[in-house]
Structure 1
Amino acid sequence: MQEHRPASAYTNETPSVLTIGTFDGVHIGHRAILNRLVTSAQKEGLQSVLLTFFPHPRMVLQKDTNIQMLNTLSEKKALLEQTGLDHLVIHPFTKQFSRMTAVEYVRDFLVNKLKAKKIIIGYDHRFGRNRTANIVDLKEMGITYGFEVEEISVQELDDVAVSSTKIRKALWEGDVTTANNYLGYPYMITGTVVKGKGIGKTWHYPTANLQPSQEYKLIPKNGVYVTKALMKGEKKYGITSIGTNPTVGGKKRTIETFFLDTEANLYGEGLQLEFLKFIRNEATFETVEKLKDAIKEDETFARKYIAENG
């Protein structure tokens, strides 16, 4: 898969089969559409192209600072790499770009730049200044500018919407099992290991404190999870606590992982953490000793889960 950023960097002259969207999560519903795109392009000897925008249009037009995304851009790119897609075009979404008329967008952008010969798009897709144009307009423009429009059905789009909604709801509830089933892979958080308070180390449970790489990344419900990370090519399992550490008077929400059977110093290193199983809710314990007992129980649960599923 070749990446082009912005769209002007796309210089392939072979006509394309194109789809457009955020594809946040690149979940099983998205993969069905991408498989259709790739198969269609291969069958017709064309290039398969996904056009996506960054930052998310809502961040630009609505100043939505509370948006929670399932993927960072780098995570999304890695997932799309697995789909057989020929080209990923990432174009910056700006207020100026949003003012393009529907005709300018289709003629200059989709046809002249991206060489669209076929566009696979949802029945409810809207585009152009103030999102005034719809799929009927797109089909009419297809006659004028020489491309076919293949409509993604209501049912297929419902599948995508249901998947996206269920994934978010499941993560907010801590149900990573359901989320992972709809994603088709374990939910992940990518970031850098930063210094924490060092309390766990004094209890012989040293933790890696993960700072997510993007503030808009959706963080699952506070609680304790079985997790996995790749360290120097090796899979390492751990117990991850998301929360404020109320027993020791914590206030700030953190993501701390105690890795089983490893004592690696990870400060400053990049880490991708995969969430495998919810263990328990965050709790305030009466004493530190009771917290330590709970951590031992978490470790027992995690080791049993890993032995049965790892």
Structure 2
Amino acid sequence: MELIRGLHNLRERHRGCVATIGNFDGVHLGHLRVLAQVKEKAAQLGLPTTVIIFEPQPREYFGGSQVPPRLTRFGEKVRLLQAQGIDRVVCLSFNARLQKMTAEAFVENLLLRGLDVKHFVVGDDFRFGCDRSGDYQMLKQVGEQQGFAVVNTKTFEIDDLRVSSTRVRACLTENNFGAAERLLGRPYRISGRVMHGQKLGRQLGVPTANIRMHRFAAPLRGVYAVSVYTEKDVFLGNGVCNIGVRPTVNGSQPVLEVHLLDYQGDLYGRLLSVKFEKFLRNEQKFEGLEQLKEHIFNDIDAARGYFALPH
């Protein structure tokens, strides 16, 4: 799969495609239905598939830390789209220039001159351009004039409710991982590379792998029993994970820290994927490191109990 960053990197060879556009946060079953539409039409026309996304997501640009937490950071999203067999992902930087671009200029620069789209799959509630003046009807009209088709995405429902990123977030907020998995079509995971941290866990006798979240806010918060996998999706081990801002040590940014049970080895720089199995407790602020250490060991015992592992 080819990742194209920005309009300025579109070339003649990128022209002529079947495309769709959106945030694709979580790449859930509703998104997979859209991607299936794109792939089916691309196969009929003998054209490559193109997914257009934004970074940051528009609501993040306008709302900052007040926006809903991301389900998938940029790297995770790209890997999930690649796994679906998408040929190209065009990532547009959502900045002041793009914000001020008129709907007409957006269509001209991206869909016509940039990609020469032959078939465009989009939600009928999609809005774009300065002041959100562009909509589905405008795209239909331009498509009729310029010779490309514009069609609705097909709504995908489970239990008579539309599958959406908002609905997945609600399931995660309730720590209902089974329900989230039904909507995603896979277990919910957070992935990232292990970075050097404060080494506080090592000082407490509980070494942790610190994974950078790369998002304004985390979709989960608290302590969990987890399963951990390597970059090649090989099971690495079970563990206990904390997601939060670490209030006991005056933290402010969301961090994922995972302690692998009975594991010894260097994980720095490794790309790990953390699957959430069971919620153990909320994040708390403790009076000091000794109290924090006591609760960490209690969390480890709880995780061992869940996985039925010996001490």
CA contact 2:124–2:152 (8 Å) conserved in 1: yes
**2:130 aligned with 1:95:** no
Matching residue's letter, 1:298 = A
Task: Give the match for residue 188 of structure 1.
Answer: 190
Q: Which amino acid aligns with 1:128?
A: G
% same residue = 25
Q: Is structure 2 residue 148 aligned with structure 1 residue 143? A: no
Q: Describe the superposition over 1:67-98 as per-residue Cα deviations: whole angstroms up to 9, x where unpaired.
A: 32111111111111011111111111222222
- Give the aligned partner of residue 240 of structure 2: 240
Q: Which moved more, 1:29-38 or 1:165-174?
A: 165-174
**CA distance, structure 1, for counterparts of residue 96 and residue 114 of structure 2:** 20
Task: Using structure 2 for the length normalisation, give the TM-score.
Answer: 0.82
How far apart, in 2, do the equivalents of 1:30 and 1:41 lie? 16
TM-score relative to the length of structure 1: 0.83
Residue 134 (1) aligns with residue 139 (2): no
CA distance in 1, matches of 2:244, 2:18: 48
Paired residue for 1:292?
Answer: 297
Classify the secondary structure of the residue corresponding to 1:216: coil
Give the deviation of 1:100 after TM superposition.
Answer: 2.2
- 2:97 and 2:177 mapped to 1: Cα distance? 39
Q: Which runs of 5+ in 1 are unaligned?
A: 305-310
- Report the counterpart of residue 307 of structure 1 in structure 2: none
2:238 partner amino acid: G
Q: Residues 30-41 of structure 1: matches in 2 within 5 Å?
A: 30-41=31-42
1:64 partner SS: helix
Instruction: Work out the CA distance in 2 between the residues paired with 1:47 and 1:29.
Output: 21
Partner residue, 2:3: 3
Residue deviations 1:178-235 (CA, integer Å, cap 9, x gap) = 2233222332132433233236753xxx331414241325241312222212178742
1:115-264 equivalence runs, <5 A: 115-153=116-154, 155-156=155-156, 162-186=163-187, 187-193=189-195, 194-198=197-201, 202=205, 206-216=206-216, 218-230=218-230, 234-242=234-242, 251-252=250-251, 255-264=256-265
- Aligned residues of 2:19 and 2:38 also touching (Cα < 8 A): yes
Kept after mapping to 2: 8 A contact 1:192/1:213:
no
Secondary structure of the residue that 2:24 maps to in structure 1?
coil
Deviation at 1:241, TM superposition (A): 3.0
8 A Cα contact 2:201 2:208, kept in partner: no
Equivalent residue number for residue 74 of structure 2: 73
Correspondence for 1:278 = 278
Matched with 1:59 is 60
Distance 1:219 1:271, change over 3 A: farther
- The residue matched to 2:127 in structure 1 has which SS? coil
Deviations 1:9-36 (A, max 9, x none): 2222552111111101111110111011
